Amino acid sequence: MSVESFDHWQRHGRPLYRADQVRELDRRTIAAGIEGFALMQRAAAAAWQSLKARWPGVRSFSVLCGGGNNGGDGHVLAAMAAAEGLAVQRILLKPRDALSGDAGRAADMATAAGVEAVPWHSDLVLEGELVVDALLGTGLGGEVRGEAREAIEAVNASGLPVLAIDIPSGLHADTGAVLGVAVQATRTVTFIGDKLGLHTGAAPARVGEVDFRALGVEAEAEVDLVPAAHLLDAGLIAAWLPPRPRDAHKGDVGHALVLGGAPGLGGAALLAAEACARLGAGKVSLATAPEHVTASLVRRPEVMVHGIRGAGELDGLADRADVLVVGPGLGQGSWGQGVLQAALGAERPLVVDADALNLLATLFTGQRREEWVLTPHPGEAARLLGLSPGEVEADRPAAALALQRRYGGVVVLKGAGSLVAGPEGLAVCPHGNPGMASGGMGDALSGILGALLAQGLPLEAAARLGVLVHALAADMAVRQGGERGLLAGDLASCARILVNPTMGEDDAAATR
């Protein structure tokens, strides 16, 4: 991977950290002369600003304060809001004498400011128009225990909007998994370093809007600290897909071959081929069972459709393509096995999806290459790793990295907060929506990836960009028609707009 392309990624995408790395950022900041309590005050002030920005007319709220520094943030925020005339109630999980350091100092500050405090008990009614969750932050260790569990359940049962401080309590800052129970936030305001665990796994369903506040300390503190991941940013698109040269021809922009659609399984491969064509591959071929040829040609005459009764009829097709997409509708029977065997034998970059992944986990074990993108959903990932889907979901970043180590190349672990693991590390996609929980969405992704590879993008860049464009296209399609009923076939036209980022400017120039 070239230095230039690596720079693109550095410039596009917020760094994400694990809890231990955020603690290191805190430590470095404090070592550089900003006192811990001053940092807590900055955090609380940022949270208070975030609260007012999201709920401008609010007059009253409750703050649940845990026994650590996350609770400390809550005490200071309560004092700040009370000073501006709001009615604030603090609910304390720990008595004052159980608090130490900055958290104790914060509690004293709020008490001195006259902010009401009541100890947590299970019959407590949460007062006010919203709840601030300052129970557990990055210091959470293991499954949520004791009264914290009850308090989290009470927050969720209250039906009130929730501002989570730093991270919804109960969510693991590294993995995005729920440790037993977790707060359902409306907004999460997070400090100093954004956390990987706010963006994948159960997190997208828990965090609400994420409001990242660097607190003005990140620049120096981040030096030499390799982030755990980067958040995929829409700026990547223009960086990687500049307008085509005026004299471009179809031979310059690649030939992708989609292999799939065993007898009885036609649609998936066609969806992949269509997405591939819409994303700008110069030529798209589809090798599928003969029974699907007519329907494919009717739907997409631009695609060169070859009916094959088996891999023996591929007839050099794979050698004439620049990239192969294998898996959509492949099946695991003899047709699919033969076609996968042929694809693995071709010296071409591969996109491997669906049943091709299942075959890699069963009949074609031990495969490893550098020039492929594997796109498992959690079920397929579990088969490839010999784990259960639950084990994959419990630590998605670890699963994505383990797959990449074992199988080489680049691995896309799909699902809310899709992860891309490659030689440059992890990237996380913050876009996409539950409308994508519909058949065929993964097939569209594999076609998109094939198109980007055909156009010459390096493997890891293609994978990151493809995942991003796929999710952004789904978000665009949802803005037009809503989540329920979103179809994979709706994505291609939106994705096309996204991969032509200068189109708006060109249109404007043409009409001037």
Ligand X SMILES: Nc1ncnc2c1ncn2[C@@H]1O[C@H](COP(=O)(O)OP(=O)(O)O)[C@@H](O)[C@H]1O
| Interface with ligand NAX (CB under 6 A) | 26, 36, 39-40, 43, 66-73, 136-146, 148, 165-166, 191
Smallest gap from Cβ 35 to ligand NAX, in A, equals 9
Residue facing K ion at closest CB distance: 169
Pair 360, 367: CB distance under 8 Å:
yes
Burial class (CB within 10 angstroms; exposed 0-12, middle 13-18, buried 19+) of 319: exposed
Give whichever of 342 and 478 is closer to ligand X, judged by the CB atom: 478
Was 140 annotated as part of a binding site?
Answer: yes
> Residue 130's binding partner, choosing from ligand NAX, ligand X, K ion, none, with beta-carbon cut-off 5 to 8 A by kind?
none
Given the structure tokens 């003899």, which residue do they identify? Answer: 334
Residue 169, contacted partner among ligand X, K ion, ligand NAX, none, CB below 5-8 A by kind: K ion
- Collect all residues with Cβ–Cβ distance below 8 Å to 57 and sequence separation of at least 6: none
- What span, in angstroms and rounded, lies between the C-alpha atoms of 395 and 71? 26
φ/ψ (deg, to 5) at 261: 85, 60
- Strands ordered across the beta sheet of 350-352: 194-195, 15-17, 229-231, 425-428, 419-422, 410-413, 372-374, 350-352, 323-326, 255-259, 283-288, 304-307
Q: Supply the minimum distance, in Å, between the C-beta of residue 468 and ligand X.
A: 11
254 assigned to a ligand binding site? no
DSSP assignments along 100-123, one per residue: -HHHHHHHHHHHHTT-EEEE--TT
Provide, rounded to whole angstroms, the least separation between the CB of residue 314 and ligand X.
24
For the chain, the straight-line distance linking the first and the last C-alpha, in angstroms and rounded, comes to 41
Q: Which does 443 bind (CB under 5 to 8 A by kind): K ion, ligand X, ligand NAX, none?
A: ligand X
Query: Do residues 270 and 293 make contact, with C-beta atoms less than 8 angstroms apart?
Result: no
503 contact choice in ligand X, K ion, ligand NAX, none (CB below 5 to 8 Å, kind-dependent): none
Shortest approach of ligand NAX to residue 408 CB, angstroms?
Answer: 36
Residue 418 annotated as lining a ligand binding site: yes
3-state SS, 175-225, equals CCCECCCCCCCCEEEEECCEEHHHCCCCHHHCCCEEEEECCCCHHHHCCCC
Give SS3 for 420.
Answer: strand
By a kind-dependent CB cut-off of 5 to 8 A, residue 441 interacts, out of K ion, ligand X, ligand NAX, none, with ligand X
| Interaction site with ligand X (CB under 6 A) | 354, 377, 414-416, 418, 432-434, 436-437, 439-443, 445, 470
Window of 21-29, 158-166, 185-193, 457-465 that interacts with K ion by CB under 5 A: 158-166
Please, what is the minimum distance in Å from the beta carbon of residue 172 to ligand NAX? 10
In the three-class reduction of DSSP (H, G, I as helix; E, B as strand; rest coil), residue 352 is classed as: strand
Which residue's beta carbon is nearest to the bound ligand X? Answer: 442
Query: Quick check: 133 binds K ion (CB under 5 A)?
Result: yes
In DSSP terms, 12 is beta-bridged to none
Among 63, 77, 165, 256, binds K ion (CB under 5 A): 165
CB 261 within 8 A of CB 318: no
Q: Does 141 count as an annotated binding residue?
A: yes
Nearest distance, CB of residue 194 and ligand NAX, angstroms: 12
Identify which of residues 269 and 445 has a Cβ nearer to ligand X in the complex. Answer: 445
Q: Tell me which of K ion, ligand X, ligand NAX, none is bound by residue 415, counting a contact when its beta carbon lies within the kind-specific cut-off of 5 to 8 angstroms.
A: ligand X
CB of 418 to ligand X, least distance (A): 4
26 is known to lie in a ligand binding site: no
**Is 363 assigned to a binding site?**
no
- Residue 439 near which of ligand NAX, ligand X, K ion, none (CB within 5-8 Å, type-dependent): ligand X
Do 399 and 177 touch, CB atoms closer than 8 A?
no
CB of 73 to K ion, least distance (A): 8
| Of residues 133 and 233, the one with the C-beta less far from ligand NAX | 133
Collapsing DSSP to helix, strand or coil, 330 comes out as: coil
Please say whether the dihedral angle defined by the alpha carbons of residues 94, 100, 104 and 106, taken in this order, is positive or negative.
negative
Q: Is 273 annotated as a binding residue?
A: no
Interacting partner of 432 out of K ion, ligand NAX, ligand X, none (Cβ under 5 to 8 A depending on kind): ligand X
What residue numbers does the annotated binding site for AMP cover? 414-418, 442
What residue numbers does the annotated binding site for K(+) cover? 70, 133, 169
What residue numbers does the annotated binding site cover? 69-73, 133, 137-143, 166, 169, 268, 329, 377, 414-418, 442-443
